[in-house]
Structure 1
Amino acid sequence: MATHTSPLKNVLVTGGAGYIGAILPCSHVVYVLQKTRQYKVISIDNNHNSNPAALDRVSQLSKSELPADATEIDIQSTEIDSHKCDLTQPDQVRAVFEAYGKGGIWGVVHIAVSSLSHVPKTNTSCPFSFSKAYKAVGESSEIPLTYYANNVAASVSLLQIMAEYDCHRIVYSSSATVYGTPPIIPIPETTQMHAYSPYGRTKIMVEHIIEDLCHSDRKWRAVSLRYFNPAGAHPSGQIGEDPRGRPGNLLPLLAHMAVGRVKDATLKVFANDYPTPDGTCVRDYLHVLDLASGHLLALNALGPDSNVFDPEATDFYKAYNLGKGKGMSVLQIVEAMRKATGFDYKYEIVGRRRGDVPDLTADPSLAQKELGFTAPQDLETMCRDLWNWQTKNPFGYGECY
């Protein structure tokens, strides 16, 4: 990779230390930003659902990939300014912006959310269960005020502070949950947003807030990324998904079963009578590094030289799906992990679960056309990289946070 001498752009990443609560690809986004040698990452994270060691590993990994003739700016791009900061505490967030001054932060990648162990009533996650462990269904319905405070109120506060410090560029990590039960598969961005849980509604609300802000003030540029099921890990095995407690998503659960962190487990698959090739529910998986690259493309689209936005548009706001556009069933995932790990998974078919949708597959064609987004890595690669991470880090970043 070529060396760089131009000044780095400061980019703040919320939730920078996580995969996030095992849902979102924060540490991998930081890594992909660093690879460009064009951005200086400022991470803010309260470490509730993440481990600071992840950022140390990202930095080490980026340093190891520097060319022999790396410039001082190249080296600086591998260093992360990390701040323990709670987005629900405006004074803490403002202090970070104050440290860089007005105009000192070029843009924000807003990934941090209150995911806790979220699975909305209309489940866009995988339709499976681990015996005794599936207690997250409807969590946002049980504690809605927590979700609205952490996801909506904190986002509004962040946007207000950004405006105070002349920072008007934001990439927002949204979710496929905004689509509820979609009438069309694969799902285009034109699908009406209609979530069935407080978690999903918080995503819709923040999207609308950002769009309204862009419409009210043309200084703002924003992209919302609606993505589906990130999977895999960096091929080095240095960074990956490290969920707290029992995993709530299918692939990390299968990895934990194979490595022995989850013992005497039987996977419960909710029904095999759906109108899908093998009767089990289908979800759109994409490699976490492909997803992270989508964040980079979205961030680049906010620059002054980007042609993503029509200069005559009434606002500079876009929303894109990020997915492979190809769904995989629960049983296909189990079989792929069986091949990757050699582990003999036991599963049991049980009845349908209320709210499950047969097929949630993205139509990523708009992101492909306008951002140049691609997701080339296949399911075999996702499973191989996940298993490589898990075997090298059987207890993640450590047994205790």
Structure 2
Amino acid sequence: MNILLTGGMGYIGSHTALLLANAGHQVHIYDNLCNSNIGTLDRVQKICSKSIGFSEGDVRDTEKLTKVLRDAKIEAVIHLAGLKAVGESSQKPIEYYANNVQGSISLIQAMQMVGIKTLVFSSSATVYGDPVYLPYDEDHPTSPTNPYGRNKLQVEEILRDLSVSDKEWQIACLRYFNPVGAHESGLIGEDPNGIPNNLMPVIGQVVNGKLPLLNIFGDDYDTPDGTGKRDYIHVMDLAEGHLAALIWLQGNPGCHTFNLGSGDSYSVLDLLHHFEKASGQKIPYQIVERRPGDLPEYYAKADKAEKFLGWKTKRKLSDICNSSWLWIKNSRKS
């Protein structure tokens, strides 16, 4: 299958591109490189020994996107492009709505122009908001508490309306929990431009001497060690979820929602101690004030993905930390 990955040069996109290429699909990446690096493409192609197409562009450029879809003879799209920092979304809401909502509409319009009607959308567990109950299942009420979460939910609603208006569309909205880890080769991993927002890249910058210590936001939550607990999912498990959704969509029209998570939760200190064990290094940290909107705990109920997609996580917290450490060591050399 010829598959376009918008935002495919990023963290999740690069791992998904690698998996799809290894599964025999022809992959073409469309990315504006605002939070990624062109060098990632060489590393992905080195691992899989296959050619991956690339076009630099913004998803809001409908005309260019339409041309890429047509020229590359694309049959299905995995839509990963978008801004993703929760805190930044509150500081720059219009930029987030423009990139994430307007960009998604532009992609849909380009797909309509070419007649492509199979789409896997990168959504987020952020759409749920404060938990009414745990674990979150797909029927949990949606009430996002920040612009980023509202972006994701609005795109989901647009896609549901689209699928009602045209019964030929095959759409999967994948609600991610907390992606971490790296490819087992250690050649690709999470490598954001600028100051990282996620836990593991910050740990990497501490290890590599770019930051003096790790800030842990709050140790007074109602959890065993006082730090927030999250559902961490290995990025390669997440990539496999995209492939499983793409396969299942063939012959399953409509708009379908799936949680992609492990179903377990680990605290910040749990993750930190596992990483220290994997790396053999102590990570200096300090406790600082809680961030507004952070929850004590959340995790997924992913039974629906297992039932319909035949997907569940395979990798453990130790695999997450071992692969992250290998990537961090390798990135230190580059």
Q: So what's the TM-score if we normalise by structure 1?
A: 0.81
Q: Partners in 1 of 2:220 and 2:189 — Cα distance?
A: 33
For residues 41-190 of structure 1, the aligned pairs below 5 Å read 41-63=27-49, 78-100=50-72, 104-115=73-84, 118-119=85-86, 137=87, 139-190=88-139
Q: Describe the superposition over 1:4-46 as per-residue Cα deviations: whole angstroms up to 9, x where unpaired.
A: xxxxx21110011110xxxxx1000001111111x11111011
- In structure 2, what is the equivalent of residue 366 of structure 1? 304
Contact 2:4–2:69 (CA under 8 A) maintained in structure 1 = no
1:109-154 CA deviation, whole Å, 9 max, x = no partner?
A: 0001022xx12xxxxxxxxxxxxxxxxx3x2122211111110111
Distance in 1 (alpha carbons) for counterparts of 2:239 and 2:7:
14
Q: Secondary structure at the match of 1:295?
A: helix
How far, CA to CA, are the matches of 2:9 and 2:292 in structure 1?
34
Instruction: Show the 5 A alignment for 1:2-401.
Output: 9-19=1-11, 25-37=12-24, 39-63=25-49, 78-100=50-72, 104-115=73-84, 118-119=85-86, 137=87, 139-262=88-211, 264-265=212-213, 267-304=214-251, 309=252, 316-394=254-332
The one-letter code matched in structure 1 to 2:76 is G
Local SS of the residue matching 1:393: helix
**Cα displacement string for residues 325-378 of structure 1 (whole angstroms, at most 9, x for unaligned residues):** 000101111111111122222222334332111111111111111111111111
Q: Does the Cα contact within 8 Å between 1:336 and 1:380 map onto a contact in 2?
A: yes
Hey, what does 1:4 align to over in structure 2? Answer: none
Contact 1:284 1:361 in 2 (8 A): yes
Q: CA–CA distance in 2 between the matches of 1:256 and 1:271?
A: 20
CA distance in 2 between partners of 1:295 and 1:98 (Å): 22
The CA deviation at 1:273 is 2.4
Two-structure CA RMSD over aligned residues (Å):
1.4
User: 2: CA distance between counterparts of 1:349 and 1:16?
Assistant: 35
Distance 1:189 1:107 in 2: 24
Contact between 1:258 and 1:341, CA under 8 Å: does it hold in 2? no
Once the two structures are overlaid, the 10-residue window that deviates more, 348-357 or 338-347, is: 348-357
| Equivalent-residue separation in structure 1 for 2:284 and 2:330 (angstroms) | 24
What amino acid sits opposite 2:44 in the alignment? V
Q: Which amino acid aligns with 1:284?
A: D
In structure 2, how many angstroms separate the alpha carbons of the residues matched to 1:260 and 1:17?
Answer: 26
Name the structure with the higher helix share: 2
After superposition, the C-alpha distances for 1:64-86 in whole angstroms (9 at most, x for unaligned) are xxxxxxxxxxxxxx211110111
Q: What amino acid is aligned across from residue 51 of structure 1 in structure 2?
A: N
Name the amino acid aligned to 2:216: V
Unaligned runs of 5+ in 2: none
d(CA) in 1 for partners of 2:143 and 2:323? 34
2:63–2:110 contact (8 Å) kept in structure 1: no
**Offset at residue 246 of structure 1 (A):** 2.7
In structure 2, do the counterparts of structure 1 residues 143 and 246 end up closer, same or farther at CA, with 3 Å as the change threshold?
A: closer
Whole-angstrom CA distance in 2 between matches of 1:158 and 1:344: 45
Q: Aligned equivalents of 1:292 and 1:97: distance in 2? A: 22
Query: How far apart are 1:258 and its partner, in Å?
Result: 1.4
Equivalent residue letter for 2:241: G
Task: Please say if residues 261 and 394 of structure 1, whose CA atoms lie closer than 8 Å, have aligned partners that are also in contact.
Answer: no
Secondary structure in structure 2 of the residue aligned to 1:225: strand
One-letter amino acid of the structure 1 residue matched with residue 57 of structure 2: C
Can you list the C-alpha shifts for 1:75-103, whole angstroms capped at 9, x where unaligned? xxx21111011112222212212324xxx
Letter in 2 for 1:203: K
CA apart distance, 1:289: 0.3
| Structure-2 separation of matches of 1:201 and 1:297 | 26
Question: Mind listing any 5+ residue stretches in structure 1 that lack a counterpart?
Answer: 1-8, 20-24, 64-77, 120-136, 310-314
- Give 1:122's aligned residue: none
Counting matched residue pairs gives: 334
Q: C-alpha separation between the residues in 2 aligned to 1:353 and 1:158?
A: 34
Query: Is the contact between residue 16 and residue 55 of structure 1 (CA under 8 Å) also seen in structure 2?
Result: no
Please give the secondary structure, in 2, of the residue aligned with 1:268: strand
Supply the AA of the counterpart residue of 2:304: L
Counterpart residue identity of residue 27, structure 1: S
TM-score, normalised to structure 2, is 0.96
Residue type of the alignment partner of 1:389: W
Q: Which amino acid aligns with 2:66?
A: R
**Distance verdict in 2 for CA 1:350–1:239, change over 3 Å:** closer
